[in-house]
Amino acid sequence: MNPLLDFSGLPRFAQIKPEHVAPAIEQLLDENRALVTRLLADDSLPTWDNFVRPMEDANERLSRAWGPVGHLNAVMNSPELRDAYNATLPKITTYYAELGQNLALFQKFKALRNSAEFEGLSAARKKIIENELRDFRLGGAELPDDKKARYLEIQERQSELSSRFSDNILDATNDFTRVVEQRGELAGLPEDVLQTAREAAEAAGKTGWLFTLKAPSYLPVMQFADNRALREKIYRAYATRASEFGNLQWDNTPLMDEIVALRTEEAALLGFANYGELSLAAKMAETPQQVADFMRELAQRARPFAEKDLLELREFAKTNLGLNDLRSWDVAYASEKLREQRYAFSEQEVKQYFPEDAVLAGLFKLVETLYGLHIKTSRAPVWHETVRFFDIRTDKDVLVGQFYMDLYARNSKRGGAWMDDVITRRRLEDGRIQTPVAYLNCNFSAPVGGKPALFTHDEVQTLFHEFGHGLHHLLTEVEDLGVSGINGVEWDAVELPSQFMENFCWEWDVLQGMTRHVDTHGKLPRALFDKMLAAKNFQSGLATLRQIEFALFDMLMHSHFQVGQGKSILQLLDEVRTEVAVLIPPEFNRFPQSFSHIFAGGYAAGYYSYKWAEVLSADAYSLFEEHGVLNPEIGSRFRSEILAMGGARPAMESFTAFRGRAPAIDALLRHNGLVENA
């Protein structure tokens, strides 16, 4: 049996082969299209049970077959799997675009919406039907046939280009290595980084130390290497990935232009003034102008702090490091030295207190305290020997959810960190509840030299962030697929539970239970924690402006920009930087060419949602600050009003139900130190 067609339990990763992909997906697409034909031929009045449920069942089978394929393509990429994925992706895209454009299906949903049954449905089911009607309109269901055909072409081409965009970044990242043969050229780099680099060189049959552009290799070089020439070399390679400065077959520049042009055309077909408006039709924010105003207001509040950050850094670099001309490849290095001098600690010192086992134990204990749950090691088929699997259970040992954890970087895995769903909670026809399952993926350094993996405090926050997404998916109590977990949640509210979790990484009561020095086994000293806390908002002005720069660029590109109208995407970014940034990268920097969030990751005209949701998460967390950060009563309220509700009601309703009022920006500014004397 084709393992992709086995829906009896968890994916059978060990058996899944590239040659299984096309037959499984084609079979399911044929079955689904036959079902649609049958449903449309049925003249009886559509109901939830005779119309919505069969569609839901069929589309869930398709997503459960395709999900592991997309996942493996991201974490165990190979030429054969990539080919199978890219060959099948257009078929999936076409199917969903066809569904979205099917006027007869749209009429069926309208008939159900206007039927006597509708009033008796649960709030969750009503929301699913309302979402479907909105999505039909956004999917081109009301377009004339010739425009429908063009819309389909646009969808197929966009998915193809986005996949190539990701592949190009991965290939360009993997292509670069730098071998250093003299130990003296690596002064300043931590021992564990050197050991990893030495092992990488040995594995490649080289002598010396081998560095790459993957985060666990790239970031320590930028932060710690005294060798300025090495920093510049690595920075330049990283900043020009997938651009015209490298292998031209991986140049994302033409792909970016075509993606943006296609999005503009898609928006026009659907009657929107621009793609930004189309994107916001299903989000909390209402107009591109509202988003731009929000970003500019935040930039105005952050700018004085960012200017002060930069002035201090330049003065320090000149006086203490002899760097009269601070360049982009000096910023992380000089910042780390300034932080060490000002707060008398280094990232490297802190890292020794965060071995993987202690961090996971602390994270799990926090979840158990807040939500009355228990997390236990479990077993499941996995795609790599370092992947682990866990159960989440209640006090009465009832299974709530399960998740995979894939924490380490490797050549076959795309960069970054992300959560994805494997199985979504729903009530099955036989009355049983389907247990939700999630993937949690990071790109941390693997253990070396017989010691456990060590995480920087930033990596600990990344782990907590992704776990917050995971809890949003796993702790839902909604029983209908379309709004269960993160389904149906407005995109600009999806980051609320993840950013909310990051706050706990700054709480003494939490950190005490999740630290253990890798050599001495001692807990994180209070004095060191106090220094970390003092340094928490170190350069937060610069960090905030950087996020605003990306978000404003994204929204303006999708609302005030036309490809081929005398200005390039890079020139638009330069204009945004002139307006909001204080730290301008060198002319050769090609950041957009690797900005996969907006060109390949679903954040198009939506990158602002990180800051938008940060307002929500900081304000939500302030209720914990008022009542005790480990307060199970407030935890239970957060779980029931936000995590449990999924997309069953608008995110703003969930927020106000939890907080008792509309969100305010004050907590965000305070958390980020963007208020005087914060």
What digits encode the pLDDT tens for the residues 61-101?
999 999 999 999 999 999 999 999 999 999 999 999 999 99
The answer to whether residue 653 is catalytic is: no
- C-alpha span between 372 and 32 (Å, rounded): 41
What pTM does this model have?
A: 0.91
In what side-by-side order are the strands of the sheet with 399-408?
Answer: 373-378, 388-394, 399-408, 437-444, 418-423
Question: Taking the C-alpha atoms of 345, 536, 414 and 88 in order, what is their torsion angle to the nearest 10 degrees?
Answer: 170
- C-alpha span between 7 and 541 (Å, rounded): 49
What average pLDDT score do residues 430-442 get?
A: 97
Q: How do strand 178-180 and strand 437-444 relate by DSSP bridges?
A: unpaired
Residue 449 pLDDT class (50, 70, 90 cuts)? confident
pLDDT for position 319: 98
Task: Report angle CA 6, 11, 14 to the nearest 5 degrees.
Answer: 105
Query: Cβ distance 492 to 285 under 8 Å?
Result: yes
Residue 677 pLDDT class (50, 70, 90 cuts)? low
How many CA atoms lie less than 13 Å away from 295 in the CB half-sphere? 29
What average pLDDT score do residues 504-526 get?
A: 96
pLDDT for position 374: 98
Query: Cβ distance 608 to 559 under 8 Å?
Result: no
Convert the pLDDT of each residue in 116-142 to its tens digit.
Answer: 999 999 999 999 999 999 999 999 999
pLDDT for position 672: 93
pLDDT for position 483: 98
DSSP per-residue string spanning 335-369: HHHHHHHHHS--HHHHHTT-BHHHHHHHHHHHHHH
pLDDT for position 676: 81
Percent share of the chain, pLDDT over 70: 100
Q: Map residue 533 onto helix, strand or coil.
A: helix
Q: Which of 302, 215, 252 is nearest to 672 (CA)?
A: 302
Tell me: pLDDT of 670 over 50: yes
Convert the pLDDT of each residue in 328-342 to its tens digit.
Answer: 999 999 999 999 999
Helix and strand totals (H; E) in the chain: 27, 9
Burial 410-423 (b: 16+ CB within 10 A, else e): eebbbbebebbbbb
pLDDT for position 604: 97
Q: What does the radius of gyration of the chain's CA atoms come to, in whole angstroms?
A: 25
What average pLDDT score do residues 369-387 get?
A: 97
- Kindly list the distances between the CA atom of residue 588 and the CA atoms of 223, 385, 466, 554, in Å, as whole numbers in the listed order: 21, 40, 32, 20
Query: Cβ distance 134 to 281 under 8 Å?
Result: yes
Residue 18 pLDDT class (50, 70, 90 cuts)? very high
Domains and CATH numbers, the chain: 3-142 (1.20.1050.40), 176-240 (no CATH), 356-534 (1.10.1370.40)
What average pLDDT does the structure give for the chain? 97
Helix (H) or strand (E) holding 463: helix 457-474
In this structure, the chain runs to a length of 678
Convert the pLDDT of each residue in 254-270 to its tens digit.
Answer: 999 999 999 999 999 99
pLDDT for position 678: 46
Candidate list 347, 459, 466, 549, residue with the active-site label = 466
